[in-house]
Amino acid sequence: MFWFLWTVVLVCALWAALSLLPAGADAHMPLPYLIALVPLLWVPTIAVAVTAIVMREWGLLCGAIAAGLLSQMHEAGYWTNYSLNRSILQLVQRSSTPSKTPAHRQPTTAELLATIRETRRETDITARETANDVLSERTSAAATINVMTLNCRYGRADAKSIVAMVLSRNITVLALQELTHELVQDLNDNGLDLLLPYHQLGEDRSDQDNGGFNGIWIRVDPQSSEQSSVSIDAADVPSITIPVDATRDITFASAHPKSPMRGTHAWSAGIMGLKDLAAVQSNAEHGNRDITVILGDLNSSMAHPSFRALLKSGFIDANISVSQGAQRTFPSWLPWPRIVLDHVIATTGVTFTDVKSTVIEHTDHLALTATLTIR
């Protein structure tokens, strides 16, 4: 029993150490999957630790604690600076406009969709005019923008649930992955084109798309858009750019690198290839930089060296930034264990608050929403 427990500790320690490999070294099967499970190794190490206390084996206890801490090395960022970020969140919430919906009851999907239909019947303002009204509110130097990303599972995600979420969370930018043309039409039939009238879709290429193409929607009239803003061996990365002020722009991109099962090298290269979007030019006169925000199912977590290499290129992860606990997004059908696969990341110039994951019907990922404030 004693040596068996030490074997468990050693296996857990070596397993956790896989997350410390150099970037790109994780591009070998089955490393991406083993590394994804590293944050869950606290379960066997705690079991060993409790057994060691009962057995009064203090050396074994120390070994189990060390292995457990190693497995949680990259999880610590989800909790640090909690008090500071909590204060920021409360400040933003106090300064925001109160919702017309009573605080004690959230609107149902049917009520939200009825609101869209009522708006269509009673107003003679076009979607473009409505978006232009919002433009003045959303593109100032202190703009606050609500964003959302979701993997739609081969286009099976429930369109009504997506539109209801956009309406209830006041989403300004929506990024979707694994889309089909049928789902896009269903979204429009349920009012998405009224709420977010501007969009950019990636090309529908079954030979490269991993489950479907990507798309991005926005409430305001963009100054430019691209079908694919960066070249990676996966689905196109569509992007939309809007002005922040006289000197800066902000670009939103919807990304979905290939999963490891479609090739570990393409998986790693796709994740790290997104760092090209961080190569924005600084404004020497004003000292400002354009901002890039990537939203999507990046098929990786903080435990993966390839993903950490992407962050080191100049991105901040919203989930890490708010430090209020990991918002895990896969799989949707299990309350536990879940892992972090979906992300909202941005270059410097924004502050994140209110990062949440929410179930959307008929897809295997949770939606991830966040509020970003442009500094």
pLDDT score of 103 more than 90? no
- The two most distant CA atoms of the chain are separated, in Å, by 77
Distance CA 64, CA 44 (A): 9
Token pair of 45, please?
């190490």
pLDDT for residue 81: 54
Strand intervals (E) in the chain: 144-151, 173-179, 198-201, 213-218, 224-226, 239-243, 249-255, 291-297, 315-317, 342-347, 350-358, 367-374
Nearest partner of 255 among 297, 286, 307, 202, judged by Cα: 297
Contact 305, 262 (CB under 8 A): no
- pLDDT, tens only, 216-244: 999 999 999 999 999 999 999 999 999 98
At the top level of CATH, the class of 99-374 is alpha beta
pLDDT at 350: 93
What was the pLDDT predicted at 105?
52
Q: What is the mean pLDDT of residues 115-123?
A: 55
Conformation bin of residue 191: beta by default, left when phi > 0, alpha when psi is -120 to 50: left
**Does residue 292 contact residue 326 with C-beta atoms inside 8 Å?**
no
- Here the tokens at position 194 are 């009224």
Q: Is the pLDDT of residue 134 over 50?
A: no
Query: Residue 89's pLDDT is what?
Result: 45
Highest-confidence range of 23-37, 76-90, 274-288, by mean pLDDT?
23-37
Taking only the tens place, the pLDDT of each residue in 183-192 is 999 999 999 9
Quote the pTM value: 0.84
Q: How far is CA 118 from CA 111, 126, 128, in A?
A: 10, 14, 18
Q: What's the pLDDT score for residue 148?
A: 98
In this structure, the chain runs to a length of: 375
For residues 261-276, average pLDDT: 96
Q: Are strands 198-201 and 213-218 parallel, antiparallel or unpaired?
A: antiparallel
Which tens digit of pLDDT belongs to each residue from 66-83?
999 999 999 988 887 544
How far apart CA 155 and CA 140 sit, in angstroms, is 35
What confidence score (pLDDT) does residue 52 get? 97
3-state SS, one letter per residue, for 84-116 = HHHHHHHHHHHHCCCCCCCCCCCCCHHHHHHHH
CB 259 within 8 A of CB 298: no
- Give me the percent of the chain exceeding a pLDDT of 90: 73
Structure-token pair, residue 199: 């969009």
User: Is a pLDDT exceeding 50 seen at residue 126?
Assistant: no
pLDDT of residue 1: 87
pLDDT in tens, 321-374: 998 889 999 999 998 899 999 999 999 999 999 999 999 999 999 999 999 999
Q: Which of 348, 88, 315 is nearest to 244 (CA)?
A: 348
Sheet holding 350-358, edge to edge: 198-201, 213-218, 173-179, 144-151, 367-374, 350-358
Instruction: Report which of 227, 252, 254, 230 is spatially closest to residue 241, judged by C-alpha positions.
Output: 252
Inform me whether the pLDDT recorded for 282 exceeds 80.
no
Q: What is the mean pLDDT of the chain?
A: 86
Predicted pLDDT of residue 76: 86
Q: How many CB atoms lie within 10 A of CB 97?
A: 6
* 3-class SS of residue 210: coil
Can you give the residue ranges of every domain in the chain? 2-73, 99-374
pLDDT of residue 115: 63
